[in-house]
Amino acid sequence: MITAVNISYNIGHKNILNTISLQFLPGICNLIIGPNGSGKSTLIKLLSGALENYKGEVTYDGEVNLKTFNKQALAASRAVLSQQTELSFPMLVEEVVLLGRNPHFEFNPGKKDIDIVHEVMALLDLHSFAKRNYQTLSGGEKQRVHYARVLAQIWEQPKGVHRYLFLDEPLNNLDIYYQQLFLSIAVSLLNENTTLIGVVHDINIALSYADQLYFLKEGALIKNGVPEKIVDAILLKSVFNIDTQIMAHPSTGKPIIIL
């Protein structure tokens, strides 16, 4: 569980996040949605510990204040898939994925680390890429490599230990098959000690995966709740400024947006 109380973030005089309070529960799929520049990525960075000069309080399970959370311990239990990550030097795909195990070994990786790397690479169909130079991959392939790296970071979960997965627009550059795969892998990790927070752009994907949906606009939380209960044409008009029709999915009954 992650709790944020009255968090604000400014860059210069520009207000990026404006006194937001919210709570993300473990075991469910929490997705954030909102127009460009609404502060979604900033919120992910702030909650995951990449930003320091914010106002308000963020606490992780067991009332651990994010600002005083030990950096090593945090890295061993919290992973973040960022929007864009580039490498300046040639590296093999398996070497990039292994970087995700950094918080778990001292200088040389152990057998367990290597096994986990193989496991997550298989999950994302990367085994045939293992010895390829990362820099020669396409955008979608690179995204899969980074997802594998991020999964490797928090793959094992000792009993009773909390873990946190942040996904900042994970579906960029992915074809529809991998969009589905990415989110179903994330959902499959969920349990009572695993908290998942993601940002997605495709509203229909958000509606079909989210257990809790958070609408962000101009740095403020507009509305949050179970999609079926909160999403209507008025809300979408006010957040995205679009006119929509809402239907029920024929088999799941979840809402679908049609323009």
Partner 1 sequence: MRPNNKIFFSVLTLLLVLVLIAAIAFGAVRILPAEMLSALVHWFKSENTQSIYENVFLQLRLPRVMLCAITGAILAVSGVLMQGLFRNPVVEPGLIGTSAGAAFGASIVFSLSPFMSPVFKSILGPFLVPVFAFVGGLAATYIVYSLAKNNKRVSILPLLLVGMAINAIGLSGVGLMTYIARDPQARSITFWNLGTFSGASWFQVWVTGIVAIICIFISFKQAKKLNVLLLGEQEAGYLGVEVNKLKTSILIVNTAMVSVATSFVGVIAFMGLIVPHVLRLLIGSDNRKLIPASILMGALLLTLADMGARLLLAPSEMPIGIITSIVGAPLYIFLLKKYQFNQNDL
Output the smallest distance, CB 67 to partner 1, in A.
14
| CA distances in angstroms from 188 to 22, 50, 148, 164, listed in the order given | 24, 26, 14, 13
Give the contact letters, 131-160, x = binds to partner 1 (CB under 8 A), - = no: ----------------------x-------
Residue 190 within binding range of partner 1, rule CB under 8 A: no
Residue 36 within binding range of partner 1, rule CB under 8 A: no
| CA distances in angstroms from 9 to 16, 34, 42, 55, 199, listed in the order given | 6, 17, 8, 6, 18
218: which 2 tokens? 């101009």
Residue 14 within binding range of partner 1, rule CB under 8 A: no
Contacts 24+ apart (CB under 8 A), 34-37: 34/215, 34/216, 34/217, 34/222, 34/239, 35/217, 35/239, 35/240, 35/241, 37/218
Choosing from 1, 76, 189, 246, the residue that interacts with partner 1 (CB under 8 A) is: 76
Residue 91 within binding range of partner 1, rule CB under 8 A: yes
Q: Which window, 42-50, 113-121, 193-201, 208-216, contacts partner 1 (CB under 8 A)?
A: 42-50
Residue 102 within binding range of partner 1, rule CB under 8 A: yes
3: which 2 tokens? 């709790």
Choosing from 79, 165, 200, 207, the residue that interacts with partner 1 (CB under 8 A) is: 79
Calpha distance 144→94 (Å, rounded):
12
Residue 92 within binding range of partner 1, rule CB under 8 A: yes
Residue 161 within binding range of partner 1, rule CB under 8 A: no
- Give the nearer residue to partner 1 in terms of CB position, either 59 or 82: 82
- Give the nearer residue to partner 1 in terms of CB position, either 98 or 221: 98
- Beta strand 163-168 with 78-81: parallel, antiparallel or unpaired? parallel
Tokens 């979608």, residue located: 140
Output the smallest distance, CB 69 to partner 1, in A.
11
- Give the nearer residue to partner 1 in terms of CB position, either 150 or 171: 150
253 contact partners, CB below 8 Å, separation of at least 6:
228
Residue 82 within binding range of partner 1, rule CB under 8 A: yes
Output the smallest distance, CB 76 to partner 1, in A.
7
DSSP calls for 220-246: EEEEEE-HHHH--HHHHHHHH----EE
Q: What is the CA radius of gyration of the chain?
A: 19
Calpha distance 209→226 (Å, rounded):
11
Residue 187 within binding range of partner 1, rule CB under 8 A: no
- The residues binding partner 1 (CB under 8 A) are 45, 48-50, 71-72, 74-76, 78-80, 82, 85-92, 95-96, 99-100, 102-103, 107-108, 153
